[in-house]
């Protein structure tokens, strides 16, 4: 089955700097890649997603890139703010399958 | 639209008791997923259900765990004879469409503590 690896497990950046979180997946049949943000004690919330027919997608300060050949996808957050502090999860879904497989999560801390 | 509703939000059980967690999907959603999150860990898929059908239970432990999504009423995740290792947050998610055509919307989770 699908396996998703996420790095780093923790990331600390200065406010205003950029943060990058990387994921790799194992099954080349995966074609949907969402990113979720989870604040302490809260539910995961979708912040951006990308499908395999595009290589990059942006939404204000957040962007996601996908390299299908290398089976990598990354989350980029620019101009980080304290409210960006949270745990971020990448995920992958295999076409035809019905479940999202999540990475292990990255705890992002924005230092003021 | 009230979103995905889970209850109870917090549940405390002693070893050997039963835990029942309920999930009402968003209005118009017919697909329900259950995930387990251990402290400081990621989300592990447990089971995917549609009304009256279990579609994929590959993540469910073989014993003590069961799930249902009846024609009427919420989806229920049932854990019999709980053990300390069952302590976790259990998240339910729903979607309108099959698989990768739609976003998964998560509930706030049910936090089970086994004493």
Q: Find residues 33-52 of chain B whose CB sits inside 8 Å of chain A.
A: 33, 35, 41-45, 48
Q: Is the pLDDT of residue A74 over 90?
A: yes
Q: Which residues of B touch A29 (CB under 8 A)?
A: none
Which pLDDT belongs to residue B97?
62
Given pLDDT bands bounded at 50, 70 and 90, which one contains residue B98? low
Average pLDDT over residues A89-99: 83
Number of CB pairs, chain A paired with chain B, less than 8 A apart? 60
Q: Which of A4, A23, A90, A98 best tests the B interface by mutation, with the highest count of B CBs <10 A?
A: A98
Which pLDDT belongs to residue B109?
96
Q: Is the pLDDT of residue B100 over 50?
A: no
Average pLDDT over residues A66-94: 95
Say which residues have a Cβ less than 8 Å from residue B62's Cβ, sequence separation at least 6: none
Task: Give the tens place of pLDDT for each residue, B26-78.
Answer: 988 889 999 999 987 889 999 999 988 999 999 999 899 999 999 889 999 99
Average pLDDT over residues A51-75: 93
Q: Is the dihedral of CA B32, B11, B5, A75 positive or negative?
A: negative
Average pLDDT over residues B100-104: 67
Mean pLDDT, chain B, whole residue set: 91
Sheet holding A19-25, edge to edge: A4-7, A19-25, A72-77, A62-67, A56-59
């Amino acid at each position: 089955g699908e396996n998703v690896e996420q790095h780093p497990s923790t990331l600390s950046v200065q406010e205003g700097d950029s943060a990058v979180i990387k994921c790799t997946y194992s099954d080349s049949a995966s074609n949907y890649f969402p990113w979720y943000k989870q604040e302490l004690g809260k539910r995961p919330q979708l912040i951006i997603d990308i499908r395999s027919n595009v290589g990059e997608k942006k939404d204000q300060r957040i962007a996601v890139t996908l390299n299908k050949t290398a089976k990598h996808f990354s989350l980029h957050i620019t101009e980080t703010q304290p409210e960006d502090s949270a745990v971020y999860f990448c995920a992958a879904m295999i076409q035809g399958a019905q479940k999202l497989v999540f990475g292990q999560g990255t705890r992002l801390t924005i230092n003021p | 639209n009230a979103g995905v509703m889970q209850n109870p939000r917090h549940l405390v059980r002693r070893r050997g008791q039963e835990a029942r967690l309920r999930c009402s999907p968003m209005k118009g959603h017919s697909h329900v997923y259950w995930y387990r999150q251990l402290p400081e860990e990621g989300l592990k898929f447990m089971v995917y259900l549609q009304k009256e059908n279990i579609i994929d239970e590959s993540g469910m432990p073989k014993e003590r765990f069961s799930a249902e999504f009846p024609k009427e009423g919420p989806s229920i995740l049932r854990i019999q004879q709980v053990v300390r290792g069952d302590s976790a947050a259990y998240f339910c998610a729903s979607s309108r469409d099959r698989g990768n055509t739609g976003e998964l919307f998560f509930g706030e989770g049910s936090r089970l503590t086994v004493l």
